[in-house]
Structure 1
């Protein structure tokens, strides 16, 4: 090999080295992660009323989201230098047994936002879950179908479209998130708009949290207690002896513009616990109660469950519950429309497998 060939080979090697270094540097500055969860099992409910509000129907069905939502997402960050970073999240929930998106036929029906974060906090623009979903931190069941959403008919499962969200840094355990969802109506700033704030204090052995959110209808009113209403949530958790975690919570719903034939206020209370018997097995127990005004009745819900970890990513779950309705109430044992007759009792159970990645 002559000197010219040696020089060309050396230059080529140097270019490859530079390209390799550049690729490594780029990877160090940004990252993209695929993540998700697959959940499926079986579900049973009894004493289901027909369209006339009567009957004692029974239902066996596939369990797609009862323990937790199946989801698929992509998230990424990029280091912009000086402590600032850009981020994005694209996430859709789906019913695994039916292989269909949850709710509306939208691919990204849970989260699709982009934002910036720095020492001043985190700003996100786009679609996210409603801030009322922060009740998850206070729910002993982890927001299962038998959980904090059941006796409020899914009020705290809402999404927040066209949103702007800001989260503060954590100062000595305190942090806060403020969220708004723009109604995008030409004839009024408040129509279809949502707003909310969540404030928390987190310590090693306990947590306290306050959440307030409002959801308005197409006329800018609070006309439906379990859809377009005002919602205040207060609660906390305490971890005892490392293996026992206690939960307590309270919600107040208000819809001052609701028709006189429907309730305009509700109070929702719960207590519960998670007890880790072994590193693999956790037991769940909880009790919920809701009361409504305008003679709409009340209900008590009781739930027992268990999670058994086969690995860090895969677990078996089983949950059972029973609801007792007063004379005029017809709450389901699960957060579904499978209601019993007014004043009726209803039992339900579901079990299955969850795998996260």
Structure 2
């Protein structure tokens, strides 16, 4: 590993189905200086070794180590790229180019490692959280990765979640699944959330709505403007949000799901107004499913189900969560005795914070407290 005083020369690469990006950098600790970089059309080459050789012809390849983020699964430092007929072997690359080490990572795992190097200004945050996190990115394919939180730092890990089966939740999406199944057989999330997926959505909408592509859109698509195509297929935004939510559920990503790529673009800008892109979910039915499908019973879950069964919008409950005094008394006693009570103090201050917010989660907490001890509803 490089030290703060001795820079190490590194070749880094982002290997995707459409583009391969290489950079030579000097790394000293957490300081990185980019010395040279190039972008290559991946499908114009028979393998990564040809691209590295082309890079070496343009820039002196005086590097000690190499690391490549690969759009596909990596097993024992060997990768089969999902959308290219390439097999990448790190040991063979190291031997060919006289490298001390060569390492392959799943590309989304590589992205996840890079999150720690970003600043707050690099994020467009819809809702802040903590603990486990995840990243999702739609490009030539759909990549997904997780970040396990050990209490001190995040540990990125790869997944192939983009190849999980697409699951519709309404009539339009059921029709989309039928349409794509006739063509592909198995329909993964990648079939709808990717560059090719956008084409699939557009073709489906033309058939489903029985309308022709308008002339202005034909013109824009011929000139290569992707924003016009994205505007035609707003369904992509809904599906992107849905799968990000699925990923959060599967990984318990309470620390957030990061959409990798440009901070503001035609896909994610509408998510800053999430109320316009929500599913009509029967929360009361979902709560009943949770309470009956859980291994361990929960009285609070029962109380939540009862409240949701009355009015799913919980309009009768306040977003200001009252505290009846026990939390304050416990916190004061803990201060006097020097006893740490992080969970109770966090819960108490969360109730204080609800005075300044207007969210659904606070209504649900008020409903649970009302059912639990008759605490005020308004």
Measured against the shorter chain, the TM-score band is under 0.3
- Structure showing the higher helix proportion among its residues: 2
TM-score, normalised by the number of residues in structure 2: 0.23
TM-score, normalised by the number of residues in structure 1: 0.24
- Structure showing the higher strand proportion among its residues: 1
